[in-house]
Structure 1
Amino acid sequence: MGERNGNQVMYYLRDRRLDVCYDEESDNDVDGEEVHEEIADEQDADEDSDFDELRRRQVDEIEENIQPRLGRPRSVIKGKNNFKWSTIAPESRGRRSFHVYLPSAREEAKNVSTPLEAWTLLFTPEMLEMIIQHTNEEIERNRVNIENQNASFCRNTDIVELKALIGLLYFTGMEKHNHTNLEDLWSPQFGYNLYRAVMPERRFQYLLQNLRFDEKNSRNVRRTEHALAPIKELWDAFIVNCKKYYSPSTNCTIDEQLLGFRGRFAAQVYIANKPDKYGIKIVSCNDVQTSYTIDAEPYVGRIETAAGDTVPSYYIKKLTETIRNTGRNITCDNWFMSVNIVREMKHNYSLSMVGTLRKNKPEIPSTFLQSTAAGTVRYAYADGMTLLSYSPKRNKVVLLLSSLHKRGHMNEEIGKPDIVAFYNATKGGTDTFDQLCKCYSTSRITKRWPMRLFFGMLDQAGVNSAVLYNLREANSALNCRSFLKELTFSLIKPHLEDRLRKSTLRRSVRTLVSEVLEVNEHRSNETGRLQKRKRCSVCSWRDNKKTLYSCASCGSPVCDDHRTHFCHNCA
């Protein structure tokens, strides 16, 4: 069966055009916190408004003294660390051949036919059973503190109920109720019938309070090995599934996603130009065409890197393990980019890179930092890399480095260099994915960071599974909201059917469940007749009233005083 291309998938996923906001890392690091500066337009990706005017004049004087002595343009220029660049483009060796990859599903993902099947590939039954096991352990520990230990709201949970809980979380995100008070959600006046039909408010709250994802007794030991210990096993399983069932297109993006969180977390970051400001940072690798998350790594503080490696290079190598030696391209911003990592990824892993450079890199020639007339373009070449200094307007300089482009060319249609046009077209994979997650986020207010990360995983699974579902051409195309609607109903339906089979379910709730399932419970216009007289189940035992009739719905014996007759239409 055929597959849709990436552009078609993104067209179906978006309910409306998403205005992607691209972020920039500042050249400065203040008190160990990351400071991002908002970009005025897409060409200002590496603008430094604090450029030293004195240093600029000094450079101009040096160039004025050197140029007359040379009498001709120099073919070799050097950076601050004497790194050599050539101003002469390398000779072209004819047409270059490279493989073009299209986004595609792998293994079982090729045959998914429903949203639930696609979602189950990423959140497998084994992962849900692990959550159930540790959640029931927490319920058992907390049950001793409850006065009535036989209360129905504090019973152990199962996989059917857990799926229903997740379905309600998706529904709250879909209806923008994720920050609404629970009392209002379950209110007959202001809430939705679906909430009361699936489970009581107290049960929903109790399950969220007791959700756990690891063995509590061994947590402190595992935390010494990794700070993500309370949810690491679940996270690792989720990322393995994301990588297993998807093959990305030719171009990928590595960037940061911020999960808003104001509680206590050792590696909490502050990013000024993100909507949430504070939270948990996730460094993610996404497909440019579909925004599918291929791999991701939460930031948990200090990282032990190999000798000579930097933290950005660690993330690039870690997140590109599944696409090494494939000839794909990675686009990233100036926090990740450096001459060393671009060269290493090209020679050791056959991956090209395109991105902006910070102006404090020692390999950059001083002449490339000078501000010139608008539209000025300067190129330098070294070891298969192309360095671009571009002035989109006066007193602004953008530095880009590419190992994909062998020679510098201008795009005549837009009046910008090809490298700038390519970077602007491929830098938004992660930002678009982040916006799709936030559009229908399941995140509720919590003080527990593992829960915030779990909500983030649900959002990521929702977007990724929607991509897998829409890739199959035989499936009807669904946008994110329509996909989540079908997924929500598929998750809660088994639990609703279980509730409907309970004879003790209140009549008002039974009516709600029947309406949600669109089941018409037929009631006979006559009560059932018993073979033997029995005591009325409603009357006091002191009255000792016997009857030959029973309730047609639940079968309980009822006397004439407690029987009600309905016609077929009213029943």
Structure 2
Amino acid sequence: MGLILLAGVQKSNHLNVEELFRTDGGSVEIFRLSISAQRFQFLLRVLRFDDGSTRQQRKAIDKICHIREVFEKFVQNCKNNYTLSAFVTVDEKMESFRGKCSFRQYIPNKPNPYGIKIQALCDSKVFYTFNMEIYPGKQPNEGLVCDNSGLAVVQRLSEPIFNTGRNVITENWYTSVPLAEMLLQRGLTTVGTIRKNKKEIPPDFNVLRGRSVKSNMFGFRDNMVLVSHIPKKGKNVLLISTMHNDAKTDVETGKPDIILSYNDTKGGVDVVDRLCANYDCARATRRWSMVVFYAMLNVSTINSQVIYIANNSNSKSLRRHFIENLAMKLIEPHIRERQTQLNLPRSLRQRLSEILKIDEVTETAGRSRNGRCYKCGWQKNRKTKYTCHKCKKYLCLEHVVPSCSNCLTGDEE
């Protein structure tokens, strides 16, 4: 996981594995120092998230059984380790994927129009992803019944914050009057754009004739406000709010407070999408479960930095540096163990010692007194106890160049 995150930071996530593990200095050195290319490919190829022996039975009732258990554990950890601010956003994320998948979606206005849709609830201020669920489409007839309507999705995502007085920001696919009423009953307010074809909207709010640009129309009912705003000629924006109860507007812009509040807090999930795209760690794959796995890694780097900053208020670490440090901390235990393996090339172990800042005495401790002369090669298999005083490679007497003590120490006058 550390190497995958590091590839994302270095914008190398789509490089071929052979390019990542080049030895001519054209790639990031830590890859070949940490693991072999064959091992890296093998781990990615065999990585699974469920029990393959029971998958067919579970697949008959659940389309996303391949990764459901791991995904739900990850989401539960996200819920347990952070307390949200007063404003949260519910929206959809698209994880790019064009392979074979029965619930692959097409949303033309997204940066990645084809892919796996993930519904998410995020903090609108610090962009912490609190809750997520994968959109599975229509489940098998005898399978898990899942209501994919906007009201049901928002209800499931916001259930952990019921009766906390927070405000939920939604876009027009989710927003409806029944949703606003349901959230009010559960101690939450909402602000969101609403489609003009909803039956609860009075016809007058959809009439544009005779209305000037930047004009507003308000409608009130118990604990709910409907506003119609004309931002430019021929365009009508409708919003409902249970957080506001008046018709206040901004003097300079002419926009109602409801719209200003919506604009300030609507971008929670969109910002998370943009942050994930900046240092995307997703590698090319034909398995949709790996796409979800890479999505979890991307979200985990954002969430972990939010938690770190919350616990270390003086920290000014950039996201790039934070991910690099996180990746190196994940890699370090493995390269410490690898540095002690005597069957690795000496040059590789010496470079690992420099990275880990291990003394040369520690690096050579416990190795055999005799070694094979590196000049003679494997054919002669000539063992010797003599080594070069600089590179510490073994040399037989045939290839040793005599030097006096002054030349050896560099003290010759």
DSSP-derived class of the 1:379 partner: strand
Q: What residue number does 1:467 align with?
A: 306
Q: What residue number does 1:360 align with?
A: 197
Q: What residue number does 2:160 align with?
A: 322
Aligned length: 393
The answer on whether the counterparts of 2:59 and 2:65 sit within 8 Å (CA) in structure 1 is yes
Q: Does residue 168 of the first structure (1) align with residue 3 of the second (2)?
A: yes
The answer on whether the counterparts of 2:388 and 2:394 sit within 8 Å (CA) in structure 1 is no
Change (3 A) 1:458 1:310: closer
Change (3 A) 1:565 1:379: farther
The answer on whether the counterparts of 1:305 and 1:311 sit within 8 Å (CA) in structure 2 is no
Partner of residue 206 from structure 1, selected from 42, 48, 54: 42
Change (3 A) 1:556 1:473: closer
Q: What residue number does 1:341 align with?
A: 179
Partner of residue 23 from structure 2, selected from 164, 168, 188: 188
Q: 1:557 deviation in Å?
A: 8.8
Q: Does residue 403 of the first structure (1) align with residue 242 of the second (2)?
A: yes
Partner of residue 312 from structure 1, selected from 142, 150, 174: 150
Q: Structure 1: how far apart are the matches of 2:378 and 2:119?
A: 68
What pairs with 1:56-205 in structure 2 (closer than 5 Å)? 166-189=1-24, 190-205=26-41
Q: Does residue 239 of the first structure (1) align with residue 52 of the second (2)?
A: no
Q: What residue number does 2:94 align with?
A: 258
Quote the RMSD (CA, aligned, Å): 2.9
Change (3 A) 1:252 1:478: same
Identity of aligned residues (%): 36
CA-to-aligned-CA distance 1:39-76 (integer Å, 9 cap, x gap): xxxxxxxxxxxxxxxxxxxxxxxxxxxxxxxxxxxxxx
Q: 1:516 deviation in Å?
A: 2.8
Q: What residue number does 1:7 align with?
A: none
The answer on whether the counterparts of 2:372 and 2:381 sit within 8 Å (CA) in structure 1 is no
Q: Structure 2: how far apart are the matches of 1:186 and 1:529?
A: 29
Q: What residue number does 1:56 align with?
A: none
Q: 1:413 deviation in Å?
A: 3.8
Change (3 A) 1:337 1:542: closer
Change (3 A) 1:198 1:417: same
Change (3 A) 1:498 1:415: same
CA-to-aligned-CA distance 1:487-541 (integer Å, 9 cap, x gap): 11111111111111011111232233234324453599xxx997xxx8x755899
Q: Structure 1: how far apart are the matches of 2:343 and 2:335?
A: 14
CA-to-aligned-CA distance 1:353-382 (integer Å, 9 cap, x gap): 110111110111111001121122111112
Change (3 A) 1:439 1:363: same
Q: 1:559 deviation in Å?
A: 4.3
The answer on whether the counterparts of 1:470 and 1:476 sit within 8 Å (CA) in structure 2 is yes
TM-score, normalised with respect to structure 1: 0.64
Partner of residue 481 from structure 1, selected from 320, 323, 336: 320
Unaligned segments of structure 2, at least 5 residues = none
| Runs of 4+ off more than 4 Å | 303-306, 536-547, 550-559, 562-569
Q: Structure 1: how far apart are the matches of 2:122 and 2:278?
A: 18
Q: Structure 2: how far apart are the matches of 1:374 and 1:546?
A: 90
Q: 1:275 deviation in Å?
A: 1.6
The answer on whether the counterparts of 2:346 and 2:393 sit within 8 Å (CA) in structure 1 is no
Q: Structure 1: how far apart are the matches of 2:207 and 2:379?
A: 100
TM-score, normalised with respect to structure 2: 0.88
DSSP-derived class of the 2:398 partner: helix
The answer on whether the counterparts of 1:469 and 1:475 sit within 8 Å (CA) in structure 2 is no
Instruction: Look up the equivalent residue of 2:12 and give its one-letter code.
Output: H
Q: Structure 2: how far apart are the matches of 1:260 and 1:491?
A: 26
Change (3 A) 1:277 1:568: farther
Q: Does residue 223 of the first structure (1) align with residue 62 of the second (2)?
A: no
Partner of residue 350 from structure 1, selected from 187, 190, 194: 187
Partner of residue 350 from structure 2, selected from 494, 498, 511: 511
Q: What residue number does 1:296 align with?
A: 132
